[in-house]
């Protein structure tokens, strides 16, 4: 008994000693504490700020050639106390560019010329090529000094060829299905800890983005259906009445609706357009925008009330190849996950109007969209956390967590007041 007492005493003394050890604080974090943009508790400091950029992106995607041709207008707001003399852009498709650094293997046929910048203008002044420098997935653009509290307008015309193989979170799924992410030049995060995020994207890490408003216009052949981040604003111009009614039914009922099934695809009268359709989506205060398209995927949908106080509903979708039998169970799993997040943990009403799980070749989440690969084993599909995990992680895309430093970083921690910051 005496031995046990002595051992317990030694353990308690050692624990007390270790608990008094003060961990070193990195210089950049200490500087943020000193400037009171951050606090030791984890809550934002009284001087905390975030920059933001709002995007109007229009792209034309050709499924035959996989060429994505686009233009965008960006309004970037400098809410920092610093004067900015350059902008740093992320060109994520340059992961596939010849000569770029990467930590993921790429098939030879996917090595490309990367993102071609056809034109870049700042405040309606077209810049010469020497005004910007591209290195891997970063592009640095020299600008006239952008003062604190000021905004700047940037217009970019660009194109690149989407990868056919080497599916690293984005690319061709099959000859008639594509999941397209990181497709537009975007301004990197400038924050109070590290300044510009100049870390190259090597394929293993995830991402770190500002909160933005996105208007995306996506033009594709008329036999394709598009799903994307945001609310579809011109559905009545694209879908024929039968499918509009099915979508409305899915958005207002707890039951399951087959919005598009195999017979509908065979019939071929899903959309109105001749030649091509332009799908317009709008999203507010999100960290990213992606889209997916297919000419042969079926679409199952349902919805549920996620906020009892307002009655607001979230539509939940499973969009998939009918030959992938495990996906017939995805809608149920996805609905249960949205419900659990809203009412069990973390007990926050799901923030998006829809959550769409798309049958892809990876496991990655974005605001309102999930790219999940099919699996052979039904038990693995139902009991593993693939769908549930991805949907839960989409909350961290909503929170804009800093996941770009290394491949192992993931998720985040809410601050003391329940809000998220970076």
In a domain, 220, yes or no: no
**Three-class SS of residue 296?**
coil
CA dist., res. 215 & res. 278, Å (int): 12
CATH number reported for the structural domain that contains residue 66 in this entry: 2.60.40
- Mean pLDDT of all residues in the chain? 88
> What average pLDDT does the segment 183-191 reach?
97
Q: What's the rounded Cα separation, in Å, for the pair 332 and 317? A: 10
In this structure, the answer to whether residues 259 and 371 fall within a common structural domain is yes
Residue 370 CA: distances (Å) to CA of 179, 197, 290, 366, 422: 10, 25, 10, 6, 22
Q: How confident is the model at residue 273 (pLDDT cuts 50, 70, 90)?
A: confident
Please, which pLDDT band fits residue 340 given cuts at 50, 70 and 90? very high
Q: What is the pLDDT of residue 380?
A: 55
Query: Does 265 score more than 60 pLDDT?
Result: yes
Tally of structural domains, the chain: 3
Selection from 297, 354, 362 nearest residue 324 by Cα: 297
User: Among residues 150, 184, 204, which one ends one of the domains?
Assistant: 204
Q: Which residue has the higher pLDDT, 219 or 362?
A: 219
- In the structure, what pLDDT confidence band is assigned to residue 20 with cuts at 50, 70 and 90? low
42, 413 in Cβ contact below 8 A? yes
The model's pLDDT over 133-144, given as tens digits with 9 standing for 90+, comes to 999 999 999 999
Between residues 132 and 395, which one has the greater pLDDT? 132
Examine residue 209 and state whether it is found in any structural domain, yes or no: no
* Residue 391 and residue 252 share a domain: yes
| pLDDT given for residue 413 in this prediction | 34
Confidence of residue 90 (pLDDT cuts 50, 70, 90): very high
**Local structure of 281: helix, strand or coil:** strand
Span 92-126, pLDDT tens digits: 999 999 999 999 999 999 999 999 999 999 999 99
Residues 383 and 251 reside in one and the same domain: yes
Dihedral of CA 185/315/179/367: which sign?
A: positive
Does 399 or 149 have the greater pLDDT score?
149
Does 317 lie in the same domain as 189? no
Q: Tokens 């909503």, residue?
A: 398
On whether residue 419 sits in a domain, the answer given is: no
Task: Let me know if 9 is exposed, middle or buried by CB neighbors in 10 A (0-12, 13-18, 19+).
Answer: exposed
Confidence class of residue 184 from pLDDT cuts 50, 70 and 90?
Answer: very high
Domain of 145 in residue numbering reads as 51-204
Instruction: Indicate the length of the chain as a whole number.
Output: 422
- Residues 111, 142, single domain; the answer is yes
Do residues 160 and 93 touch, judged by C-beta distance below 8 A?
A: yes
With a pLDDT cut of 90, the percent of the chain lying above it is: 74
**Do residues 121 and 93 share a domain?**
yes
91 CB-contact burial (10 Å; exposed 0-12 / middle 13-18 / buried 19+): buried
Is residue 61 domain-shared with residue 197, that is, in the same domain? yes
Same domain, 362 and 304: yes
Average of pLDDT values for 334-361? 94
* Radius of gyration in angstroms for the set of CA atoms belonging to the chain, rounded to a whole number: 24
Q: Is 406 domain-assigned?
A: yes
In a domain, 225, yes or no: no
Q: So what's the pLDDT on residue 22?
A: 79
Residues 142 and 287 placed together within one structural domain of the fold: no
The alpha carbon of residue 326 and the mean position of all alpha carbons in its chain are separated, in whole angstroms, by 24
Residues 258, 341, single domain; the answer is yes
User: Within a domain: residue 215?
Assistant: no
86 with 104: CB under 8 angstroms? no
Q: Which residues lie closer than 8 Å to 235 by C-beta, 6 or more apart?
A: 244, 247
Looking at the structure, tell me whether residues 143 and 273 fall in a common domain.
no
Report the C-alpha gap between 89 and 265 in whole angstroms: 40
DSSP of 320-342:
E-TT-GGGGGHHHHHHHHHHHHH
Q: Quick one: 169 and 270 in the same domain?
A: no
pLDDT in tens, 34-72: 898 999 888 899 999 999 999 999 999 999 999 999 999
Contacts of residue 331, defined as CB under 8 A and 6 or more positions apart, other chains included, come to 256, 300, 301, 302, 316, 317, 318, 357
**pLDDT of the residue at 274:** 85
Q: What is the pTM of this model?
A: 0.88
* 371-416 confidence digits (pLDDT tens): 988 887 655 554 446 677 778 777 665 454 555 454 444 543 333 3
Structural domain includes residue 325: yes
Q: Where do the H-state alpha helices sit in 20-92?
A: 27-35
**For residue 42, what pLDDT is reported?**
83
Q: Which pLDDT score is estimated for 339?
A: 96
Instruction: Report in angstroms the alpha-carbon separations of 283 from 138, 211, 390.
Output: 25, 11, 20
Is residue 422, in this structure, part of any structural domain at all? no
Here the tokens at position 367 are: 């605001």
Of residues 17 and 251, which shows the higher confidence score? 251
């Amino acid at each position: 008994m005496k031995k046990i007492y002595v051992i317990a005493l030694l353990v308690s003394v050692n624990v007390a000693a270790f608990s008094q050890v003060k961990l070193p604080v990195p210089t950049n974090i200490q500087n943020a504490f000193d400037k009171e943009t951050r606090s030791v508790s984890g809550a934002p400091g009284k001087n905390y700020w975030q920059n933001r950029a709002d995007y109007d992106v229009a792209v034309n995607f050709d499924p035959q050639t996989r060429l994505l041709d686009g233009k965008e207008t960006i309004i970037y707001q400098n809410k920092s106390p610093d004067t900015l003399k350059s902008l740093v852009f992320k060109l994520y498709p340059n992961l596939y560019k010849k000569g770029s650094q990467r930590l993921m293997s790429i098939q030879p046929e996917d090595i490309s010329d990367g993102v071609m910048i056809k034109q870049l203008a700042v405040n309606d002044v077209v810049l010469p090529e020497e005004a910007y420098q591209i290195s891997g997935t970063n592009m640095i653009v020299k600008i006239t000094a952008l003062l604190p509290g000021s905004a700047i307008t940037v217009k970019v015309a660009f194109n690149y060829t989407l990868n056919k193989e080497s599916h690293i979170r984005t690319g061709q799924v099959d000859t008639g299905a594509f999941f397209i992410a990181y497709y537009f030049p975007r301004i990197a995060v400038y924050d109070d800890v590290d300044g510009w995020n100049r870390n190259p994207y090597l394929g293993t890490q995830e991402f770190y983005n500002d909160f933005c408003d996105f208007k995306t216009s996506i033009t594709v052949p008329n036999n394709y259906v598009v799903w994307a981040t945001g609310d579809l604003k011109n559905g009545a111009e694209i879908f024929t009445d039968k499918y509009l009614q099915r979508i409305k039914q899915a958005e207002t009922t707890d039951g399951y609706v087959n919005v598009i099934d195999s017979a509908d695809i065979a019939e071929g009268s899903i959309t109105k357009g001749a030649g091509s359709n332009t799908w317009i989506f709008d999203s507010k205060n999100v960290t990213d925008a992606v889209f997916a398209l297919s000419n042969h995927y079926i679409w199952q949908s349902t919805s549920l009330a996620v906020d009892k106080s307002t009655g607001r509903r979230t539509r939940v979708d499973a969009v998939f190849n009918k030959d992938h039998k495990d996906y017939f169970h995805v809608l149920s799993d996805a609905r249960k996950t949205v419900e659990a997040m809203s009412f069990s943990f973390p007990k926050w009403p799901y923030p998006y109007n829809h959550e769409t799980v798309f049958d892809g070749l990876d496991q990655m989440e974005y605001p309102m969209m999930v790219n999940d690969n099919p699996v052979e084993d039904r038990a693995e599909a139902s009991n593993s956390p693939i769908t549930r995990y991805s949907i839960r992680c989409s909350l961290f895309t909503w929170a804009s967590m800093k996941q770009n430093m290394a491949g192992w970083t993931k998720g985040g921690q809410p601050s003391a007041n329940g809000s998220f910051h970076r």
